[in-house]
Structure 1
Amino acid sequence: MKNSGTPPALVPQAEAGDVGPGWRRNALRDVGARLTDPGFPCVFARNAYRKGLLRFVFADDGGPRGIEQLGTGLTDYVQLSRRWDDTLDTAYPLVAVFAPDAVPTSSLAGHHAFGWRVLQDLHARDPEPWPEGVGKDPESASWSLCFNGMALFVNMSSPAHRVRRSRNLGRHFALVINPRERFDVFAGDTPSGRKVRANIRGRIGRYDGTPHAPQLGSYGAGALEWLQYGLVEENRDRTDRCPFAFRGA
């Protein structure tokens, strides 16, 4: 997906505001304002921002060019993540931010539909086989989005969130992406992992002013991953089906 002579698609946090159109700097300021708030629930994201560990991809539109930018950056991100040494100081969360006019809607449902369309387009361009052991059906507890041979967790952040403010990183739609294995190491279904999750979910309740979404759970322990990618505002059961389809399904 790379073109010679073009700027790198994957940008370190320290360089994210240096080049490109002004909306990118606005997005960076918005993300910084959220992650420097002591009440922001995800202590891992706050720690990563404080240490300058975030990586950014900026998509200038929601069409082929934006998908190309995101796919190139995500390919580089997976390669970077394969060098992880199991410490927080080398755990680099990825924030993929879309330009203001990239999303042709202002509603939360529309933002989620756009996010799933982006993930489907990425899947169509995925250069590597789906990893063994990861389900291909989103209704399976073992499913997780995969790209370039790595299982990932994707958090859809929308400016349309008014209740779940913890899923709102500012004026731009964004995908927050981490390798699946990092959640298993730091917040998996173990005594220490359950304690970490309980702490973060308690913080979510205080920050959002409402209990955390009932869909939040632990990978492989009955909770469906796709329901956690994009959260609805209300605490209610969900009967919708995941729009993601495995290639050729």
Structure 2
Amino acid sequence: MYTASEINDGEVSLKKWEKVLFSDFDATLKNKDRPFPCIFGVNGYKRDMLRFSFYENITALNLAKDLVHYCENYKSYGKQTSFVVFEQPKEIKTIEEYRNKFWNLLNDLSKLDNKPWSKVLPENLDDPAWEFCFHGEPMFIVCNTPAHVNRLSRRSPGFMLTIQPRWVFDDLLDTEIKANNAFSTVTKRLEPYDIASKSPFLGKYGDAHNREYTQYFLDDGEDKKLSCPFHKMEREESNVNLEPEHEKVI
């Protein structure tokens, strides 16, 4: 797990594909002529609050180990932190295949989780207060793929995840005025950024008609209502050691 400053200063050795994906991410968030819609991500990146990991193949097991480390340390990284996960680019798949890959990954992560589901979160997806939870931490997750060609805010050269702890939004969106202002700003930046129209599933956390899971993986402009893809079942107690093998102090 690395900081942007470590990567940009050459303090870590990256493979070529890792350098290319990070360079693409860097250019996207620094673009002043075409500002990226997520203002929280842009501000967090400018302040070196984001953390990055690279995987040839993202699996629940290898992601879980880094995610445990992130969950235990993210409050020391800064109030607008995110964990960005890159997978080595491969043959481009369909939107539906990436969607299945994403939700299967979350299902598998949940099965590996050694901590109970947060008591403050409902387990039913069809609830405006639902959020994915891992290691006791509620989190908002965004998936980007190379198959997104019309919804460019969700496009990446490879399969990519951005994981934001709900804690990040506690102060930023804790009043109706703050939430409305932030939502308005993101919407204004989103409209000229994407070819596709703004998804009707984008909404504010806690609103009666909003469902967080519908925002995690957006389609490429079809805006179809999809059935619940995440099935949280009774989990057998996991004996998998999720402690990072080589924990790095950042």
Is TM > 0.5 for Structure 1 vs Structure 2? yes
Task: Work out whether 1:231 is the aligned partner of 2:221.
Answer: no
Q: Following TM superposition, by how much is the alpha carbon of 1:152 offset from its aligned partner in structure 2, in angstroms? A: 0.2
Q: Following TM superposition, by how much is the alpha carbon of 1:189 offset from its aligned partner in structure 2, in angstroms? A: 5.5
Q: Unpaired runs of 5+ in structure 1?
A: 1-9
Task: Look up the match of 1:142.
Answer: 129
CA distance in 2, matches of 1:125, 1:19: 30
Task: Work out whether 1:51 is the aligned partner of 2:51.
Answer: no
TM-score by length of 1: 0.84
Match of 1:116 among 103, 123, 127: 103
**Identical aligned residues as a percent:** 27
Return the letter of the residue paired with 2:57.
D
Q: 1:241 to 1:184 in 2, by over 3 A?
A: farther
CA RMSD of aligned residues (A): 2.0
Q: 1:32 to 1:82 in 2, by over 3 A?
A: closer
Q: Following TM superposition, by how much is the alpha carbon of 1:234 offset from its aligned partner in structure 2, in angstroms? A: 2.2
Task: Look up the match of 2:37.
Answer: 41
Task: Work out whether 1:27 is the aligned partner of 2:17.
Answer: no
TM-score by length of 2: 0.84
Return the letter of the residue paired with 1:95.
V
CA distance in 2, matches of 1:236, 1:54: 30
CA distance in 1, matches of 2:94, 2:2: 29
Q: Following TM superposition, by how much is the alpha carbon of 1:188 offset from its aligned partner in structure 2, in angstroms? A: 4.8
Match of 2:68 among 57, 60, 75: 75
Residues 40-189 of structure 1 mapped to structure 2, 5 A cutoff: 40-62=36-58, 66-83=59-76, 89-101=78-90, 106-168=93-155, 170-188=156-174
Task: Look up the match of 2:201.
Answer: 215
Identify the range of structure 1 (104-113 vs 31-40) with the bigger mean alpha-carbon deviation.
104-113
Return the letter of the residue paired with 1:54.
L
CA distance in 2, matches of 1:188, 1:236: 28
SS at match of 2:169: helix
Q: Following TM superposition, by how much is the alpha carbon of 1:20 offset from its aligned partner in structure 2, in angstroms? A: 4.2
Could you list the structure 1 runs, at least 4 aligned residues long, displaced by more than 6 angstroms after superposition. none
Q: 1:232 to 1:151 in 2, by over 3 A?
A: same
Q: Unpaired runs of 5+ in structure 2?
A: 236-250
Return the letter of the residue paired with 1:59.
Y
1:123-161 superposed Cα distances (whole Å, 9 cap, x missing partner):
111121101120112222221110000000000111111
Name which structure has the greater RCO, CA cutoff 8 Å, separation 6+: 2
